[in-house]
Chains A and B, each alone.
Chain A
Amino acid sequence: MSFWRLALRNITQRKVRTALTVLSIAVAVAVLYTLLSFNKGYAASLQQQLQRMGVHLLVVPPGCPYEAASLLLKGGKPPTYLREAVVEEIAATPGVQIAAPGFMSAIMHDDRTDIYYGMDQRTVALKNWWTLKPGGRWFTDGQTDGVVLGSDAAVTELVINEQTDLFTPGSELWVPELNRPLKILGILEPTGTQDDGFFYVPMAVAQRIFAQPGKVTTVAIRLDDPAQAGVIGAQLEKLDGVEVITMSELLGTQQRMMESAKLLVFAIVFIAIAISAIGVLNTVLMSVFERTRDIGVLRATGASKMHIFSLIWLETLLMTAIGGGIGLGLAVVGSGLLERAVVAGLASVKFLTMNEHSRLATFDPRIVVMTLLFVLGIGLVAGVYPAIRASRQEPIAALRTE
């Protein structure tokens, strides 16, 4: 028998109490790990989405540019619009490779929101990773008919109408706002971004649906040299009635907003962890009181104060390590289920919309190590006081205990 085994035997002396303590640690650790990994996953997903947009600058109407850009990126309805003529002025600016106008707005229904995105060939050029499902094609510039569906939008509509053959290229989509159908030209392959949820229509069609002729909501810009984003952005700011933001600024803003939410959630988790740490301390302390005579026996059979201190400390560490291990196992195995629940929950929050192709929870060994170190730290701290109490017991007094 080793010192470790002795500690393990001791913590199994009161099985139910130990199990409950271990469970409380496991739950706290599972929540901590899940939040850390979700946070990392969402940040990575956000970064990926922004990078996949292939956009270096975004021109939006004046106002709060970050709010407007965030709304537009996630399919919200903009408060103001840009003049369509500004697109050509932007395109004429040296260093601008593509200036792709977009008109994005949403039609709210009782049970869903249809997001329309008016565009032309420049957007197709900008998003050169887009591919259509077999048999599909894009509308040509100047065309006033036709719609291309994002992969999720196609599925959503399919379910709503309970028709299985409606959304194939060549069929028609009825648009009440136009009082006429639009011919479905194609369906996008899944992209893993919010693009999957949109209805893509020619620019003129979108302007007509939302009664905003000659207006656009955004101009996405790809530069010849992304490093020039700051300089060219400053130049574009001089144009009348525009706000320019760089994608890195937008990413930073979104991350800062996430940080605020994260701080609040983490504060709650830390309170839960502190409570479980106090639970550990209480369990070990009770066990020390109950084993006073045993501790006296150990002293009489040759244990020093340091031996007793180490033994009690080790017992605490073992409990937290076992709880931590179980919690991590639960979190890693259960993260898939949680992810689906969270993605479904976020679907109703426009700014945080994720789609089914996004990975929210990320498995990262560093998070595993960090969580384990954290829980072991808790064990170290929670075990100090009971260990000191136990080691200070005088052997004679301990042996006299009934």
Chain B
Amino acid sequence: MTTPILEARDVWRSYQRGAETIHALAGMSLTVQPGEMVGIVGRSGSGKTTFLNQVGCLDTPTKGTITLCGTDVTGMPEKELVAFRRDHIGFIFQLFYLIPTLTAVENVELPMIFARERDRRARAREALARVGLSEIHALPHQLNGGDMQRVAIARALVRKPRLLLADEPTGRLEHGARVAIMEIFRGLRAEGLGIILVTHDPTLAAETDRIIELRDGRIVDERKAG
């Protein structure tokens, strides 16, 4: 039996707002296998992004455990957590979040700089070629939305992560670009990556293997897509 890429067990994330305790996540559990694409849907404020932040090691759950690639990351020291995130997780954001002063290829090089890897330029070119972008020396403002998201995907993939976390990756894209990005995701799934896709778009959600619906930090529905 293969080790799941993600095992989230009874994850809570609570905040204090004055005397009131807000539960952004209230006992969320989810397992993602290699080569599985899971869609998370729900209204704004339902806890979708909060959940991505927990499994992406950008935030620490108040309660519960998160196991990534067989390693329990709950309570892991900050330094190790950063290294773990760097080595195993790729992020894609709705607004692309490219560094405006860096060219496409330089943006893709970023994760490798922090990991002190060699052959950065060659590997960045390779990652951009994989997502089908040829204008590697263009600055972000010189690219259209679809191409900016290609750069963001290349940046997320360049260190060959096991888990890809995509928060509304096609939310700002036109139909043609959405189709192209989904094609890339399908290819990544076929290569064995675990993908969690947060989306409001039913068409996009339908492309996943499973759809999880959240409300008030809890799973209210889980169904097979398609």
List B150-206 residues whose CB lies under 8 Å from chain A. Answer: 155, 159
Q: How far is the CB of A319 from chain B (nearest CB, A)?
A: 15
Asked if A1 is at the interface (CB within 8 A of a chain B CB), the reply is yes
- Measured between beta carbons, the chain A residues less than 8 angstroms from B159 are 302
CB < 8 Å: which of A1, A3, A297, A396 contacts B97?
Answer: A297
Q: Assess the A1–B111 pair: CB atoms within 8 A.
A: no
Compute how far the CA of A317 lies from the CA of B102 in the bound complex, rounded to whole angstroms: 20
Given the interface contacts A1-B106, A395-B58, A396-B59, does A305 sit within 8 Å of B99 by beta carbon? no
Interface of A is mostly: helix
- Measured between beta carbons, the chain B residues less than 8 angstroms from A304 are 78-79, 82-83, 114
Given contacts A6-B113, A300-B97, A396-B53, could you give 16 more A-B pairs where the C-beta distance is less than 8 Å? A1-B113, A1-B120, A6-B102, A6-B106, A6-B110, A9-B106, A294-B97, A297-B98, A301-B111, A302-B82, A302-B86, A302-B110, A302-B115, A304-B82, A304-B83, A305-B82
Asked if B42 is at the interface (CB within 8 A of a chain A CB), the reply is no
- Measured between beta carbons, the chain B residues less than 8 angstroms from A302 are 82, 85-86, 110-111, 114-115, 159
CB < 8 Å: which of B56, B101, B109, B113 contacts A13?
Answer: B101
Compute how far the CA of A9 lies from the CA of B140 in the bound complex, rounded to whole angstroms: 14
Q: Assess the B110–A298 pair: CB atoms within 8 A.
A: yes
List A293-351 residues whose CB lies under 8 Å from chain B. Answer: 293-294, 296-305, 307
Q: Assess the A300–B91 pair: CB atoms within 8 A.
A: yes
Interface size grouping (class) on chain B: 20 to 34
Residue on A with the closest CB to B78? A305
- Measured between beta carbons, the chain A residues less than 8 angstroms from B100 are 13, 294
Compute how far the CA of A1 lies from the CA of B110 in the bound complex, rounded to whole angstroms: 8
Q: Assess the A9–B102 pair: CB atoms within 8 A.
A: yes
Residue on A with the closest CB to B90? A301
Q: Assess the B78–A301 pair: CB atoms within 8 A.
A: no
CB < 8 Å: which of B56, B106, B115, B120 contacts A300?
Answer: B56
Compute how far the CA of A193 lies from the CA of B115 in the bound complex, rounded to whole angstroms: 64
Compute how far the CA of A8 lies from the CA of B97 in the bound complex, rounded to whole angstroms: 20
- Measured between beta carbons, the chain A residues less than 8 angstroms from B106 are 1, 6, 9
What are 5 contact pairs spanning A and B, CB under 8 A?
A: A6-B106, A299-B58, A300-B58, A305-B82, A307-B114
Residue on B with the closest CB to A398? B58
Query: Interface readout for A202-216 with B: 1 if CB under 8 Å, 0 if not?
Result: 000000000000000
